[in-house]
Structure 1
Amino acid sequence: MLSGLDPSGGAGIQADIQAITALGAHPLPVLACLTVQDTRNVYGASAIEADLVRQQLDCLAQDTPFHAIKTGALGNAAIVETLLDFLADKPDTPLIVDPVIKAAGGGDLADQALIESMKQALFARADLITPNGIELALLGDSEQPDQAAANLLSGGCQAVLATGGHGQEEDITNILYCEDQAPRTWQIPRRGGEYHGTGCTLAAAIAAGRAAGLSREAAIEQAQRFVSAAINQALAVGQGQPVPDRSVRIAP
C-alpha cells in the first residue's frame, strides 16, 4: 500500500498495516507523505520525494509479487504519476484507491493538482475507488450521490463504492456503482459518532480481500464485516475520534 503516516496511529499507513495483517495478507508499506496529525485533525502534511517512492516500489517488485495495491493520502501529483508509471506493466494487479482529500476535522490532505491527477489518470486505472460523501460530491461535481457517481463512471472509473460513514442515518449505507449495472447497497449498523481511520481501514480490507482472490463484491462484504467489528471495539486513544480496534478477527 502507498499512503501517509499518521502519528496518532489511528489512520493512514498504520491502519492499512493492521487491517491487512488482520485479514491474513502481508502488507508492503510505502510512505507517500508525512503528516502532523492527531485524533482530532490534520495540521500539516509533506510529500515524500517521488523518486524515493519509485525506488521503494521497484525494490519491492524485484523481491516479491504484488497481489493488490491500496492507496491513501498520496502527497502530490508527482507521486500519482510515479505510481501509474510503475503499474504500467502490471495491468492485472487490482488497485484500490481511497481518494483522501480532507481529514474528518477539516484539514487538507490534497491540493488541486493532486485532485485533478487522481480524477484524470488514477481513477481510470483503479479497480475501485472508495470516496466518502464529502469526497464523492467534490470529485463527482454533484451534491447528489447518484449523479456524482455517474459522473465519475463516465470519466473513466471502473467502480465507485460510495461510503456512508459520515452520515447521520441509523445505518451506514455503502453503495457500489458500476457501469451498466444497477447500484448495489450494503448496510451496517451505525454505532454513533465518527471514528478515526475507518475509510483507510475499509479500503485496506478490500485490498486484502482482492489480494486473496476474492471478487470485488466479496471483498467489499468481508471488509464491511471487519470494519463493523473493529468499530464495535473502538479504542479511546486521544481527545478526538475513537480508533477502530483492528486487532479483531472475523470468520472468512
Structure 2
Amino acid sequence: MLSGLDPSGGAGIQADIQAITSLGCHPLPVLTCLTVQDTRNVYGASPVDAELIRQQLECVADDSTIHAIKTGALGNAGIVDVVVEFIRKRPDVPVITDPVIKAAGGGDLADDALITAMKERLFPLAEMITPNGEELVILGGDADADRAAQNLMDRGCGSVLATGGHGTGVHIVNRLYNHAPDPMQWEIERIGGEYHGTGCTLAAAIAAGRATGLSARAAIAQAQNYVHRAILHALAVGKGQPVPDRGIQWER
C-alpha cells in the first residue's frame, strides 16, 4: 500500500498496516508523504521524492507477489504518475483507492494538480475508490451523491463506494455505485462522534479482503464489520478524535 505518515498513529500508513495485518495479510508499506498531524488536524505535509517511491515499488515487486494495491494520500501529481506506471504493469491486481483530499479537521492533503492527476490518470485504473461525502462532492463535481458518483464512473472509475462515516443519523450508510441500475447499500449503527482514520482503515480492510480472494462486495462487508468493531473499542490517544482499535482480535 501507498500512503502518508501520520505521527499520531491514527491514520495513514499505520492504519493501513494495522488493518491489513489484523485481517490476515502481510502489508508492503511505501510512504508517499510526511505530515505534521495530530488527532485534531493536519498542519503540513511534504511529499517523498517520486523517484525513490519508484525504486521502492520496483524493489518490493521484484521480491514479493502483490495481491492487491491500496492507495491513500499521495503527496503530489508526480507520485501519482509513478503509481499509475506501476499499476499499468499489473492489470490483474485489484486497486482500492482512498482519494484523500482533506483531513477530518479541514487540513488540506491535496492540491488541484494532485486532484486532477488522480481523476484523470489513477481513478480509471482503480477497481474501487472510497470517497467520503465531502470528497465525493469535490471529485464528482456535484452536490448530489448519485450524480457525483455517476460523473466519476463516466470518466472511467470502475466503482465508487460512497462512505457515510462523516454524515449524521442513526446509521452509517455506505453505497456502492458500479454501473448497476441501483447502488448497493449497507447500513451500520453509528457510534457517536467521528473517529480518526476510519476512511484509511476501511479502504485498507477492503484491499486485504480482495487480496485474500473475497469478491468486492464480500470484502466491503467484512471491512465494514471490522471497522465497526474497531470503533467500538476506540482509543483516546490525544485531545482530538478517538482512534479505532485496529489491533482487535478478528475472527474471519
Write the deviation string for residues 76-126 of structure 1: whole angstroms up to 9, x where unpaired.
Answer: 000010011112220000000000000000000000000000001100000
Shift of 1:33: 0.3
2:192 is matched with 192
Distance 1:82 1:66, change over 3 A: same
In 2: Cα distance, 1:151 partner to 1:236 partner: 38
Unpaired runs of 5+ in structure 2?
none
Structure 2 match to 1:110: 110
Which amino acid in structure 2 is aligned with residue 42 of structure 1? V
Following the alignment from structure 1 to structure 2, what is the Cα–Cα distance between the partners of residues 121 and 92?
17
Could you say which residue in structure 2 is the equivalent of 1:163? 163
Name the CA distance, whole Å, in 2 between partners of 1:28 and 1:184.
31
Question: How far apart are the structure 2 equivalents of 1:82 and 1:169?
Answer: 40
Report Cα offsets for 1:155-181 as digits up to 9, x if no partner: 110000000000011100000001134
Name structure 1 gaps, 5 residues minimum: none
TM-score (norm 1): 0.99
- Report the equivalent of 2:245: 245
Give 1:60 deviation, angstroms: 0.2
Partner of 1:8: 8
Q: Distance in 2 between matches of 1:179 and 1:170?
A: 28
Paired with 1:89 and 1:53, the residues of 2 have a C-alpha distance of 16
SS of the aligned residue for 2:147 comes to helix
Structure 2: distance between partners of 1:53 and 1:179? 33
How far 1:251 sits from its partner (Å)? 2.6
Name the CA distance, whole Å, in 1 between partners of 2:7 and 2:33: 12
Distance (whole Å) between structure 1 residues aligned to residue 110 and residue 181 of structure 2: 31
TM-score (norm 2): 0.99
Amino acid at match of 2:143: E
Q: Percent of aligned positions with the same letter in both sequences?
A: 67
Is the CA contact (8 Å cut-off) linking 1:41 and 1:105 kept in structure 2? yes
Alpha-carbon contact 1:226-1:249 (below 8 Å) kept: no
Counting only pairs closer than 5 Å after superposition, residues 221-232 of structure 1 correspond to structure 2 as 221-232=221-232
Question: Which residue of structure 2 aligns with residue 58 of structure 1?
Answer: 58
SS at match of 2:63: coil
Over aligned residue pairs, what C-alpha RMSD do you find? 0.6
2: CA distance, partners of 1:89 / 1:242: 39
Q: How many Å separate the matches in 1 of 2:60 and 2:155? A: 32
- Paired residues in the alignment total 252
- Mapping of residues 209-228 of structure 1, within 5 Å: 209-228=209-228
Q: Secondary structure at the match of 2:206?
A: helix
Listed one character per residue, the Cα deviations across residues 136-163 of structure 1 (whole Å, up to 9, x for unaligned) are: 0000001111111011111110000000
The aligned residue for residue 122 of structure 2 is 122
**SS in structure 2 of the partner of residue 101 of structure 1:** coil
Match of 2:92 in 1: 92
Aligned residue for 1:142? 142
